[in-house]
Structures are given as structure tokens and as C-alpha cells.
């Protein structure tokens, strides 16, 4: 792996909020569960000292999705250098680090194993505490490292427990009550595809490339959301579960009925805008129901939060902020750079778990499946 290649993916560090103490705890976090090899050094005062993300997207693009074997091979080639560069960029040596954290699942097991073994090796060799981070908990807790509202991205919001979380990524779509670190209550979830998967599949049908979310999002900004009618599955039903496969089937049927010569730029933009509007409606409808759920009423979360790769979507952010306002709640989303998979969220979740003593005491096996409610 050429280091030049990695440096181009570098997001740099951010001196974020506080400089509370000389004794801030430093955590090295490693993420490798899908198609990003990433490491970051984050401190307990919410500063990101360095953050390197090596994205494998170009390697998977020609296959229209992530190929697990290729991903695992790319993680092996990248992981050592990503960690080394992160330490260099933070101007730290491994001796300066207090805690090592890595994703131990859920995800593509080949990739998870590589990051996890690297972290275990470092922790064992240096005799430092090791935290096994649930990848979803990384997404769920990162808004506590850094978050803002949709309309004002500059003012940081301190996200306090409990909060109502819309977790939408390539692999998951769930509404959760986040009571505390390790304490998640599932309010609703998808019965079939995740929201990210729906974006990716629509983009694939239109030959727009991978990953589809950001492409469809950009196209939607140029399109007419009223031109095509997509279904809003389950929206006429009570409850907080999602279903996106019907939207996908409707898209397939509409495209099959359209002659290729009619699929011009405007068609694609309008199609993306109409599809995205359906997803936004599903998310707000389900969240609306979640706010009426007895468990949510009892917990009285002050903040509505979105996280995961799909949280990058500006229409979803705006709609959720609106709903939060109507419900007298705050709205918070991580900065764009901390929505898709990244090492900083793993380092932060590592710190939050370390603080409550959740460190690895004996060897553990990484898990391809690992629900937040099992923590």
C-alpha cells in the first residue's frame, strides 16, 4: 500500500472543544468492518488528534458493491500503514496512547478480524487496555463526540443521554432509545433492506455507480420529487418498523416500463428526487410514531439524533430537524466526515466504554452479527 494513496484520504485532525486537563485519556481506534480501513487518535476532551481513512471504494466500484474477499485483502495491506500514519500525524508514539479500541463486529468478518488482530497485537505487546467496540455503537455514540443541527452546522450540540436515535447505514436501519453506553432499546427496525441499501440499489438500477447514497442525494437536489410516485411502505400502519423493498420493486417496475431513450439526465434527477422523498417520508412517519411510543414517552429524550452513512443525506437531516422542532426537541447530527465509517467513532466509543470499565479481560472472537441490544 502506497502511503501517498493513504495520505490523500486523510481527513486531518480537529482540535474540537475542550482542553480541560493535562490528563485527557488518549485512545487509538481502528475500524475495518466494511470498505474503509481507518484509524484515529481521540482524547477524552473530545479532540480528534489525527484521523486517517483509507477508502477502498475505487477497488469495489467496478463490481457495483463491496466484495468481501477483496476488502479483506485491502485491509491487510493498509492496516499497519494507516495506524503508523495516524500516530505520526498526531505526533505521538504508541507509548503515549492509554487505550486501544477496534471494531469487533458486526461487519464483514474478514475485515473485522484484520483490524481486531492488529489492535489485539498492539494491546498485548504494550500491555495497554483493549476495548472491543460494536461498530453500531461507534455510529450511535459519535454524536456525543461532535454534532450540530442541520441548519447551523457550526454550533456544537452536547448530546446527553437519553436520546432518540435514527441509525441508518448501509447494513442497518433502526430507531433506538439510547439510554447510556451499552444500553440500547430497540423501538423499530427494517423488516427487509436498510435505507442505505435502498439508495445503493436505486443507483445501481440507474447505472449511477457505487456507493449510491451520495450520488442519488446530489441528483435529487436537481430533480422534481413529484414527478414519480413511489410507495411509502408501512406508513399507513402503526408502529416504527421500516420496509424499503417495496420502493425498490416499484422502481424496477417503473424503469422496466420506460424506454431507454426516455432515461435522460432530467429523468434520472426526477427519479432520484421522487425516490428520496419516499425514503424521507418513511423516516419521518416512523419517527413520528416513535415519539408516541410509551417507552419513548417514559424516557423523555431531549434530543433526536441521526447517525450512520445515510445521516449524510441533507433532505433527511432537514426533515428530521423539522420534526424535532415540532416536537420541542433538539436535533443533532455528526459532521459529514463522522457519518460514514471512520476510526474516530471507534476511538470515541472505545473511550466511553473504557470510562465505565468495559475492557477486554480475556480473548474474544469477533462477531459478524452483533446487535446493540446484546451489549
One symbol per residue from 338 to 357: x for binding Zn ion (CB under 5 A), - otherwise; what is it?
Answer: ---x----------------
Measured distance CA(56)–CA(118) in Å, rounded: 18
Cell of 21: 486537563
Among 29, 129, 196, 366, interactor with ligand KG4 by CB under 6 A: 196
Compare residues 169 and 276 and give the one whose CB is closer to Zn ion. Answer: 169
Q: Are strands 173-180 and 163-168 parallel, antiparallel or unpaired?
A: antiparallel
Q: Hey, which residues between 154 and 173 contact ligand KG4 (CB under 6 A)?
A: 169-171
Segment near ligand KG4 (CB under 6 A), from 74-82, 245-253, 291-299, 303-311?
303-311
Is residue 44 within the footprint of ligand KG4 (CB under 6 A)? no
Q: How far is the CB of 94 from ligand KG4 (least distance, A)?
A: 27
Measured distance CA(60)–CA(4) in Å, rounded: 20
Is residue 212 within the footprint of ligand KG4 (CB under 6 A)? yes
Give the CA distances from residue 105 to residues 60, 144, 222, in Å, rounded to whole numbers and listed in that order. 21, 21, 38
Q: How far is the CB of 107 from ligand KG4 (least distance, A)?
A: 7
Measured distance CA(106)–CA(184) in Å, rounded: 16
Is residue 214 within the footprint of ligand KG4 (CB under 6 A)? yes
Q: How far is the CB of 53 from Zn ion (least distance, A)?
A: 12
One symbol per residue from 249 to 288: x for binding ligand KG4 (CB under 6 A), - otherwise; what is it?
Answer: ----------------------------------------
Q: Hey, which residues between 114 and 173 contact Zn ion (CB under 5 A)?
A: 169
Is residue 293 within the footprint of ligand KG4 (CB under 6 A)? no
Measured distance CA(273)–CA(224) in Å, rounded: 6
Measured distance CA(265)–CA(262) in Å, rounded: 9
Q: How far is the CB of 171 from Zn ion (least distance, A)?
A: 7
Among 340, 344, 345, 354, interactor with ligand KG4 by CB under 6 A: 340
Measure the N-to-C terminal CA separation of the chain; round to a whole number of Å.
Answer: 35
Q: What is the CA 291 to chain-centroid distance, rounded? A: 22
Instruction: Find, among 352, 305, 270, the residue nearest to 27 by Cα.
Output: 352
In the complex, the residues that contact ligand KG4 under the rule CB under 6 A are 34, 169-171, 196, 199-200, 211-214, 217, 308-310, 312-313, 340-341
In the complex, the residues that contact Zn ion under the rule CB under 5 A are 169, 341
Amino acid at each position: 500500500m502506497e502511503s501517498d494513496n493513504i495520505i490523500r484520504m486523510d481527513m486531518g485532525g480537529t482540535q474540537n472543544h475542550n482542553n480541560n486537563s493535562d490528563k485527557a485519556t488518549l485512545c487509538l481506534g481502528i475500524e475495518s468492518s466494511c470498505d474503509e480501513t481507518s484509524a484515529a487518535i481521540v482524547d477524552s476532551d473530545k479532540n480528534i488528534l489525527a484521523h486517517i481513512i483509507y477508502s477502498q471504494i475505487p477497488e469495489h466500484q467496478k463490481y457495483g458493491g463491496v466484495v468481501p474477499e477483496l476488502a479483506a485483502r485491502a485491509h491487510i495491506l493498509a492496516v499497519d500503514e494507516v495506524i503508523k500514519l495516524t500516530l505520526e500525524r498526531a505526533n505521538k508514539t504508541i507509548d503515549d496512547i492509554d487505550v486501544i479500541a477496534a471494531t469487533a463486529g458486526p461487519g464483514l468478518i474478514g475485515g473485522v478480524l484484520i483490524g481486531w488482530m492488529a489492535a489485539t497485537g498492539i494491546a498485548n505487546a504494550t500491555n495497554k487496555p483493549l476495548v472491543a467496540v460494536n461498530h453500531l455503537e461507534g455510529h450511535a455514540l459519535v454524536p456525543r463526540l461532535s454534532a450540530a443541527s442541520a441548519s447551523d452546522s457550526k454550533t456544537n450540540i452536547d448530546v446527553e443521554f437519553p436520546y432518540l436515535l435514527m441509525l441508518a447505514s448501509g447494513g442497518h436501519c433502526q430507531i433506538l432509545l439510547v439510554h447510556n453506553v451499552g444500553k440500547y432499546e430497540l423501538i423499530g427496525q427494517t423488516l427487509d433492506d436498510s435505507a442505505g441499501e435502498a439508495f445503493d440499489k436505486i443507483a445501481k438500477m440507474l447505472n449511477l455507480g457505487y456507493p449510491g447514497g451520495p450520488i442519488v442525494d446530489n441528483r435529487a437536489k436537481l430533480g422534481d420529487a413529484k414527478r414519480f410516485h413511489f410507495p411509502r411502505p408501512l406508513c399507513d400502519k402503526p408502529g416504527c418498523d421500516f420496509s424499503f423493498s417495496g420502493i425498490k420493486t416499484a422502481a424496477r417496475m417503473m424503469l422496466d416500463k420506460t424506454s431507454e431513450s426516455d432515461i435522460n439526465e432530467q429523468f434520472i434527477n426526477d427519479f432520484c428526487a421522487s425516490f428520496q422523498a419516499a425514503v424521507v417520508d418513511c423516516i419521518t412517519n416512523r419517527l413520528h410514531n416513535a415519539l408516541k411510543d410509551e417507552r419513548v414517552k417514559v424516557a423523555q429524550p431531549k434530543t433526536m439524533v441521526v447517525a450512520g452513512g445515510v445521516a449524510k443525506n441533507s433532505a433527511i437531516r432537514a426533515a428530521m430537524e423539522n420534526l424535532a422542532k415540532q416536537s420541542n426537541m433538539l436535533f443533532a447530527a455528526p459532521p459529514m466526515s463522522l457519518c460514514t465509517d471512520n476510526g474516530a467513532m471507534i476511538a470515541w466509543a472505545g473511550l466511553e466504554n473504557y470510562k465505565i470499565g468495559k475492557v477486554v479481560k480475556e480473548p474474544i472472537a469477533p462477531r459478524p452479527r452483533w446487535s446493540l441490544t446484546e451489549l
